[in-house]
Structure 1
């Protein structure tokens, strides 16, 4: 089903009605990540939704960094987020925005709440504040500082801002209702002391607004019409609205929630992803085993595949876990249609063609893709000595084995039919070479004697190839729910998530392979040249995904 023929989801219906009824003149959305880590596959759904809706309805989507916590935010993350959003194929309206751009205005609005008697400086420690807050079943109790006068609160907040108090000694809280059933309305903190430099504002501030306070007001400043977020913020919506209603904001954005993307065999908590990086389970945020967009890109996943995956899972308000096989299907489907073909021998076994002229090399032609004429043909050097996979030869085999067997014939892909005549073994009895004869009348056709070869195998010239390393990446976790039930997710790390093969031999054209561009290594899967490791003389190729598609097979039952 195409996106055009799919039924509209609930957000499309809301926006269409708002525009038709004149409640908004233009759709304006935003993607507001906190720059405290790299974007992951879960963020891709939000990116595609917010930017996609803006495009569909002729509006605009802002990129805004919600940078209210200098303790965890870095410029590295800002740069990575910009790179990932652009890579996915989206352009934000104007320059990237920052919540820190609005710190002066937010500070003035905090003073406005104090002047209205709706905010106060509280001296409770963080531990005491948690105790006073109550629980989901029991109401909280008022802070002993809740009834300070406006004048005293203005003075204390000014002194907080001037840096007179230590971190954790006091905070500015909204005065709402400590008995509210929604715990987010129990006098939430709106400003806290953090004596540290900010990546955008430097040392200007030592007090910073909370996310809950800054978020809605930043939306209002930017004229956001539809503040679209995931369901975990649904309980924060009354607080979002309370601030909007009690402050002189220039616009009235409305918050709408949708179900976040949850994948099995995956964790997307930025805290846990950072732990994987910090403790050396992976070699960085862009490790190809990571579910980050940078990791997926380095692994060879295309932005088109991720956009298609987000289209497939749809937009609802019901939380559910998506089978990672669906993502793998989208990746495989895109690469099958678009990736050029190539050959790479992972575990080389030497083959010598005894009746082929010594020193001769001929260039054979192979299609760049089985159905796409726009991908150019490849030239394959064919020589007396070749490499095939070790597993593609046996001295003896049953009829089910469709590869090279001693005394039998097999076709070399896009080349000739050969017959295994003799083996050469080392002192340990291991086969190190297969001596074969080649039928030079079989290029593009069956042998002249009418005996059909048992199968087709891939190969490369032993004299003219690319010496490379191949990295076989597998799922990072071997349990469907790695962090379910409060267990230590690190215990679910798959010990076989990476296998490094050295001494691999690829066809010569892959010497010019572009980093992160997908290729199908025929019979082996989809691979791309790594952008971080390897050299011009010895590239590294990462396995993006295998050829087998268990998810699609399961759906067809």
Structure 2
């Protein structure tokens, strides 16, 4: 079910499950499920639920089903189904069984008939607007529909004819008959079936009535013998309805619903409707845009499954909604990449440097470590020649205080290479620096001569051997911590969320770069190859995260 070892940090759900096992509440079983709706791509909030549901099953030698809640075919598609399965597997989990709510459409219909026969459900002709008006408020009870006491035989007939397609969409709904005066509005005769003539991506046109989520979910859990139905806090007020349905229709098991606080991450939104709006209105380049909080976007950005799992474990579980700082996720990403990313050199804004005393036509292949602490990751060969490229901002004619890079008349070390000294600055007619002329000390390869003080180390690439690359510097998609609190969340979009650099140069070893590896571009950030847009020899790299948090508050 998993390719990794789960953490065992304490949380209240772990404690509940441990106590249930101790008391044999569910006959020693732990069975969970992850029940996404196939109406969009999964996002970072879903990752918390995935890690929780699969994690609890793994830790207790239990089972976890992946079940698609496909009861609203108007917004669902197989594209979303495939993306969800891909994301769950990418996170490192495998399901015990693959299920769909549509697997149970016939049984759900049968249970609805049972409710009608018991006098606990009725067919209502009120419109959706009228039902809302009749429902009442938090301080005032609802009032019964004129159809609430419709005879059982008539309800059975109408419900059968609803299924047969005799009525128009919205003409009737089937409602549970519970308590219109209940202080819990969810118990005021909720709708459990509606008429919708929509083609279903699995069942085709076999059905024109579809069950509602609250009715479907609890029965699906029971039919799968789920023991612990873990869901977010917005379903806490729905739990009485969950239990009521199961008690009335006598399902083969009665799962225990437990609620936890959903993930609210700063500088993001996790509403599928709003994410879809970003995609359809082209504020981003698809569901897998690296700025998106979707798992597909995070994957394309170079975030690893381990970083996400560590993040979900680190933030823990509570019963209180709260906001998580984006810096926590970025810390987990940096921690993982610092340990595992290969070190390479890339120059984002090249400045030409000619080493005047280096032999013309000569090339050295320098052996440089792929990771300073992990020698098992080996070394790579990096060519060095007379003309190299460095970053434009690694040279200053008039350096600021404490500047530790290259200046006229001073020395600096090239990463994994020699110490060089700048002797001359070449400019164009407009006064722009176009070239530096330097000398190198051949006795400084990999060492500092005694008494030599070199202020800093800069990265470089050989001009003749470097490869061209496009580098995309991604930043946070929103410029405010809680964009959902804005009058229009689109107004909070960060206009600087993407900077595309098209004239970059990368070291020759990256000719063999693959999407499987993550790279630390020395002194620049963590990057990955964009496998979608790196075609026909073109190399595109996406920035996963900067080396340090640039959003730290003063």
Partner of 2:310: 308
Partner of 2:104: 102
SS at match of 1:362: strand
SS at match of 1:35: coil
Deviations 1:388-440 (A, max 9, x none): 00111122325511111111111100000111111221121211111111111
Instruction: Give TM-score, length-normalised by structure 2.
Output: 0.97
Cα 1:3/1:535, change in 2 over 3 Å? closer
Partner of 1:330: 332
Partner of 1:65: 68
Which of these residues, 355, 361, 364, is aligned with residue 363 of structure 2?
Answer: 361
Alpha-carbon separation, structure 1, partners of 2:372 and 2:386 = 27
Partner of 2:244: 242
Instruction: Give TM-score, length-normalised by structure 1.
Output: 0.96
Deviations 1:8-61 (A, max 9, x none): 322111111211212113100000000111111111111111111101111011
For the 8 Å contact 2:6–2:59, the answer to whether it is kept is no
Alpha-carbon separation, structure 1, partners of 2:382 and 2:40 = 44
Alpha-carbon separation, structure 2, partners of 1:338 and 1:532 = 23
Partner of 2:532: 532
Alpha-carbon separation, structure 2, partners of 1:550 and 1:539 = 26
Alpha-carbon separation, structure 2, partners of 1:501 and 1:4 = 40
Partner of 2:164: 162
Matched ranges for 1:410-429 at <5 A: 410-429=412-431
Deviations 1:327-378 (A, max 9, x none): 1100011100111101100000011111111111110011110111221211
For the 8 Å contact 2:342–2:517, the answer to whether it is kept is no
When the two structures are aligned, how many residues end up with a matched partner? 549
For the 8 Å contact 1:518–1:526, the answer to whether it is kept is yes
SS at match of 2:511: helix
Partner of 2:462: 461
- The answer to whether the aligner puts 1:78 opposite 2:99 as a matched pair is no
Shift of 1:549: 3.8
Shift of 1:170: 1.0
SS at match of 2:384: strand
Alpha-carbon separation, structure 1, partners of 2:269 and 2:80 = 19
For the 8 Å contact 2:290–2:297, the answer to whether it is kept is yes
Partner of 1:384: 386
Matched ranges for 1:356-505 at <5 A: 356-398=358-400, 400-447=402-449, 450-484=451-485, 487-505=487-505
Shift of 1:5: 7.1
Deviations 1:265-306 (A, max 9, x none): 111011111111111110111100000111001000000001
For the 8 Å contact 1:417–1:447, the answer to whether it is kept is no
Alpha-carbon separation, structure 2, partners of 1:547 and 1:201 = 49
Alpha-carbon separation, structure 2, partners of 1:3 and 1:249 = 33
For the 8 Å contact 1:178–1:186, the answer to whether it is kept is yes
Alpha-carbon separation, structure 1, partners of 2:72 and 2:152 = 27
Alpha-carbon separation, structure 2, partners of 1:141 and 1:42 = 38
For the 8 Å contact 2:7–2:313, the answer to whether it is kept is no
Shift of 1:254: 1.1
For the 8 Å contact 1:366–1:380, the answer to whether it is kept is yes
Matched ranges for 1:136-151 at <5 A: 136-151=138-153
RMSD: 1.6
